[in-house]
Amino acid sequence: MAFLSYLISGMGLGSVYAIIALGYTMVYGIAKMLNFAHGDVIMIGAYTAFYCLTVFKLSTFASIVITVVLCTVLGILIERLAYRPLRKASSLAVLITAIGVSYFLQNLAQILFGTDPKVFPELMRNSTFALFDEQLTLSFKTLLTIIVCILIMIFLIVFVNKTKTGKAMRACSQDKEAAQLMGINVDNTISITFAIGSGLAAIAAILLCITYSTFTPTLGSMPGIKAFTAAVFGGIGSIPGAFIGGLLLGIIETLTKAYLSTQLSDAIVFMVLIIVLLIKPSGLLGKRIHEKV
Amino acid sequence: MTKLVQYPSGAYVLERDIYSTPVLETYHLGIDFGGLSAVNNFNIIVGPTEISGLIGPNGAGKTTVFNLLTKVYQPSKGTILVNGHDTSKMTTVDVNKAGVARTFQNIRLFEKMSVVDNVKVAMNNSMHYNPLSAIFRTPKYYREEKRIHQEALELLDIFNMSDLAETEAGSLPYGAQRRLEIVRALATKPSLLLLDEPAAGMNPNETKELMETIRNIRDKFNIAIILIEHDMSLVMNICEGIAVLNYGRIIAKGTPKDIQNNPVVIEAYLGKPEQED
């Protein structure tokens, strides 16, 4: 029973990774770039929600809406100002810019909000319920996280496959030039992708803060890197891959902490990643790219 | 028998097209890559229902011309008018909206999408709903999606491809992929269709079929077509006007008959006959 409860809390953690990984993987799939500032959008989201709830004393719902809107706008702004001018530059230049944006956001947050840890207000009571004669206790927070993640996943798959914007995204991810020649505005499509990714980052921020209540301006870095790992693990560019990668990473991390070592858990998580990539270099669901001559 | 007549400017146009606005006009069009001028002083006028051919030896700059017309490259010199509109400020997307669609020398379908989705992507601009109505699944979203799906299937049906609608584009046989590229280009509702070596890799039977297809497209959709092609029997059979390109310059223009007998063209293709001492 202990195993089952670890498994479920691992899935909870993994769901947060998966939501963040979706942002990485969609942006990579369409703009072919690694947006390392993605983790810091989460951090900005956390501070936005925090100030909405504590200083402005807004309702939970209003705070969530404002956080999502603000992060979406931030995502679009980052793309417009930092990445779009580099659309034709080398991928290395874009990568370095992304790291620059990440540090910029972190330092901006340190100036604006200070470096001391903030404590996120309790949004929902830490209620649990027990199953199997009190042997298995589950927290509502974990379940909520998993459900939100599954809903987002379903929404994205339907969006990408069944709407014209989604089809434009898939077309851009395969051949931008051909897409343009078919009348698809690639710049707008990339903007929408950043908007969706950043909106998801806002949701991830709130889910993170519900579970781990203290946070600092570097909140985004570790979950960001883990989620990036999850995206690569599942096959970067693939939406179901990000979901599976995120869940597996969360489960592996929690089980390692429970049974092997708390201190070594990150090392072991990344070791698993390296092994998977040695066996399957394109990730679990990634497809090998055939270079056409 | 189609007849070419001359504008006062010296440009040739089909007799039946002389009183309508040309679908394409280029004046002194040129592009330099570094110091190399890949296309120079390219002047052409294409009537609204003309099938014209752009031929020339390998490396003559034919595909570069297509890339200029679709603004994949920005011209260094000259003007392009599409249906009388100046395209100098237009992007690739704008040019497509203005009525130019194309296929590619090496097939560039969205391979991982289904056949019908490839066509629907090209119809995106005639689908009118915003992302919000897609998220909230408004009746308008369903209505528009249904309309476009139907339209895409009808278009595929014209090319006998509606039964392949749900197949992944990348898994189609070669000939069908070429056909799908043409369908996808037509789905953007062009007035000018650019075909880049449509018969490449086809056997004589398929080429014959393609010839019929190209004629049918012109008659059914009432559009102009420019094709780049190396298969001379195809070009001579269906093109009404031909321009020959060599080293980025037009060296001859005229009807297939004029071109076949033009010594300059023969020289460009076969080289100068050796001089005897």
Tokens of B120: 């629907």
Nearest residue to B98 via CA among B110, B121, B80, B75: B80
- Mean pLDDT (whole number) for B180-197: 95
pLDDT value of residue B264: 86
Q: Closest approach of chain B CAs to the CA of A272, in angstroms?
A: 30
Give the model's confidence band at A292: pLDDT under 50 very low, under 70 low, under 90 confident, else very high. Answer: very low
Mean pLDDT of chain A: 89
User: For testing the chain B interface, which of A72, A167, A182, A287 should be mutated: the one with the most B CBs within 10 Å?
Assistant: A182
Share of chain B above pLDDT 90, in %: 56
A-B CB pairs within 8 A amount to 83
A134 burial type by CB count under 10 A (0-12 exposed, 13-18 middle, 19+ buried): exposed
Give the pLDDT confidence score for residue B10 in this predicted structure: 61
Highest mean pLDDT among A52-61, A133-142, B216-225: B216-225
Nearest-by-CA chain B residue for A192? B131
Tokens 């897609």, located at residue: B134
Domain locations in chain B? 1-99+190-277, 110-188
Yes or no, beta carbons of B124 and A175 under 8 Å apart: no
The CATH architecture of the domain made up of B1-99+190-277 is 3-Layer(aba) Sandwich (3.40)
Q: How confident is the model at residue A260 (pLDDT cuts 50, 70, 90)?
A: confident
Average pLDDT over every residue of A147-176: 92
**In this structure, is the dihedral angle defined by the CA atoms of residues B258, B261, B263 and B264, taken in order, positive or negative?**
positive
The average pLDDT across B134-144 equals: 84
The reported pLDDT for the residue numbered B16 is 76
Cβ-Cβ contacts under 8 Å, B111 against chain A:
174
Share the mean pLDDT of chain B: 88
Distance CA B11, CA B253 (A): 9
Identify the three-state secondary structure at position B51.
strand
Give residue limits of the domains in chain A. 16-127+137-220
Quote the CA–CA distance of B228 and B246 in Å, as a whole number: 13
Question: Residue B222 above 50 pLDDT?
Answer: yes
Residue B222 CB neighbours (<10 A) = 10
User: What's the average model confidence in pLDDT over B248-274?
Assistant: 83
Question: Are the C-beta atoms of residues A285 and A241 closer than 8 Å to each other?
Answer: yes
Q: What is the pLDDT of residue B177?
A: 92
What is the band of A289 on the pLDDT scale with cuts at 50, 70, 90? low
Q: Cβ contacts of residue A213 below 8 Å, gap of 6+?
A: A119, A120, A122
Let me know: does A95 contact A33? Beta carbons within 8 Å.
yes
Residues of chain A found within 8 Å of residue B122, distances taken between Cβ atoms:
182-183
Q: What is the pLDDT of residue A291?
A: 47
B106 vs A contacts (CB less than 8 Å): 292
- E-state strands within A9-53: none
Summarised one tens digit per residue, pLDDT across range A239-253 is 999 999 999 999 999
Q: Is B195 on the interface with A (CB under 8 A)?
A: no
Q: What average pLDDT does range B132-136 have in this prediction?
A: 79
All residues of chain B having their beta carbon less than 8 Å from the beta carbon of residue A164 are 120-121, 124, 127, 129, 134, 145, 148
- In the stretch 148-187 of chain B, residues with CB closer than 8 A to chain A read 148, 184-185, 187
pLDDT digits (tens, 9 = 90+) for B43-95: 999 988 899 999 998 888 899 999 999 999 999 999 999 999 999 999 999 99
